[in-house]
Structure 1
């Protein structure tokens, strides 16, 4: 019987390819795997197939059911923890972020589960036979799995506003710790701040400024939950000029103070 790794996995390095890890698990429970029941995060993407069994997991504080014949994508850096997992069977694929630009999926039931079962069975077979070179069959299976995963993630309409939104989100992910003003992103995208805010509001339901604040608050919650950094250092890492400005923004965005939100740290980034 193969079980889920207790904390981090070691991704296998293949010559001329990014690192990959794959494992089939049977009868997984949290007994003996307490690290999975505490908030943790990894530096790689995880694709989790659930064939059967019951349980729950939380991704960045959002709790969802782990239902049979569903898949989840936990992207690098997201906070993850399991709850009440009972006799879960399935498979786990871990990938370096450079291999695939993943988008999170909390829990999704694909229309044709038989295809996914076949894919992870082939992945398991080919991965077990692999050594230092990524064999053609494994490479093709990975490529097929990633193409199907991208189809499961509904793409935005391919118009100019959608393209600018995608570029804004990519810029935000790269610069949110140091650039808190809409004007910076608008300049990078060759539009006005008002134009960017209108397009973001139409697509996301809130302004570009709110998008920046939400990304900052998400990272703040991750740092407060997963590290023992003092609040002042969290504020500094996120580009706030002082702890008071950070605390005010955190209370406004999250509804409690940073100290009130924090609980004892557990597993850090691996």
Structure 2
């Protein structure tokens, strides 16, 4: 039987806003069913654990849950938070559109959750001084979220941006604070197109055509900005999704290959090996061995 990873969506809540803020206690009492297993979101999630312990699986990695840590989860990431007993903290959820179509602060969350180092992962430690500043913002967010006053969305958006600015001070985000350049805009456009189309478009030429530039120019720009050409990012995005499905669902290699736009399973198998250095079978075996330890 095929088992897929649930996708949770934001925007159908009683407030009518693509934004939510709740305590972890409220989430545990009211959302325990949909958060019981591994799942993914179509929105950004910030989990601030003020006190508590446990483990947090994000994609292929597991991180310890400790007091005063913040986890940043980007849309599409698969995660599962398991706490040892009660945990105190807050969960903030919002879409890119709510924050702003091209707001640089949303890139902070994406960078933390996807591009962070394996040692630290999508985790931001909260210092004692920073805790009080964040609490003040959270209290303002909760107060405004519970009311339905004029310009409520604008005020919530403003407080959310302040919260993200405080987080940015704990992360190296020099690139996100610099004025956007032509290369930055092209990188952003490529990233957005890749996230939307990686299952159906596997070629640099396809993305270049959508951006009205040549494939060589696209590869050059992306390599200057990231250190790797566009072709590498396309490969790694497809491989990441294959890993997610292999780890968190009961689908076969054939089903994963088809879902990711490969008609030939042998082609997908070679593609996966080139991207990971492992065969799909060995990758699955390593997963099983890791879970059984």
**TM-score of Structure 1 vs Structure 2, range by shorter chain:** 0.7 to 0.9
Q: Tell me, yes or no, if the aligned pair for 1:57 and 1:81 is still in contact at 8 Å.
A: yes
Query: Mapping of 1:6-155 within 5 angstroms?
Result: 12-14=13-15, 17-25=16-24, 38-82=37-81, 85=84, 88-100=87-99, 102=106, 103-104=109-110, 105=112, 106-109=122-125, 112-127=130-145, 129-130=146-147, 133=148, 136=151, 140-149=155-164, 152=168, 154=173, 155=176
Question: Cα distance, 1:59 vs. partner?
Answer: 2.0
Q: Tell me, yes or no, if the aligned pair for 2:19 and 2:98 is still in contact at 8 Å.
A: no
Q: Distance in 2 between matches of 1:221 and 1:198?
A: 28
* Gap runs ≥5 in structure 1: 1-6, 265-270
Q: Distance in 1 between matches of 2:251 and 2:195?
A: 22
In structure 1, the residue matched to 2:291 is none
CA RMSD of aligned residues (A): 3.4
In structure 2, the residue matched to 1:226 is 248
Does residue 1:170 correspond to 2:186, yes or no?
no
Q: Distance in 2 between matches of 1:160 and 1:8?
A: 34
Q: Tell me, yes or no, if the aligned pair for 1:20 and 1:94 is still in contact at 8 Å.
A: yes
Question: Cα distance, 1:74 vs. partner?
Answer: 0.9
Which moved further from structure 2: 194-203 or 81-90? Answer: 81-90
Q: Distance in 1 between matches of 2:33 and 2:49?
A: 19
Q: Distance in 2 between matches of 1:9 and 1:215?
A: 21
- Taking structure 1 as the reference length, what is the TM-score of the superposition? 0.76
Q: Distance in 2 between matches of 1:223 and 1:135?
A: 43
Residues 113-145 of structure 1 show CA distances to partners (whole Å, capped at 9, x for unaligned) of: 322111222333444x44xx5765575134311
* Gap runs ≥5 in structure 2: 1-6, 113-121, 289-293
Change beyond 3 A, Cα 1:39–1:257:
farther
- Taking structure 2 as the reference length, what is the TM-score of the superposition? 0.71
Aligned pairs, number? 250
Residues 143-193 of structure 1 show CA distances to partners (whole Å, capped at 9, x for unaligned) of: 311354267272174222222111111111122111111112222333332
In structure 2, the residue matched to 1:210 is 232
Q: Distance in 2 between matches of 1:245 and 1:167?
A: 28
Residues 83-131 of structure 1 show CA distances to partners (whole Å, capped at 9, x for unaligned) of: 565653211122345424643331123673322111222333444x44x
Question: Cα distance, 1:67 vs. partner?
Answer: 4.0
In structure 2, the residue matched to 1:198 is 220
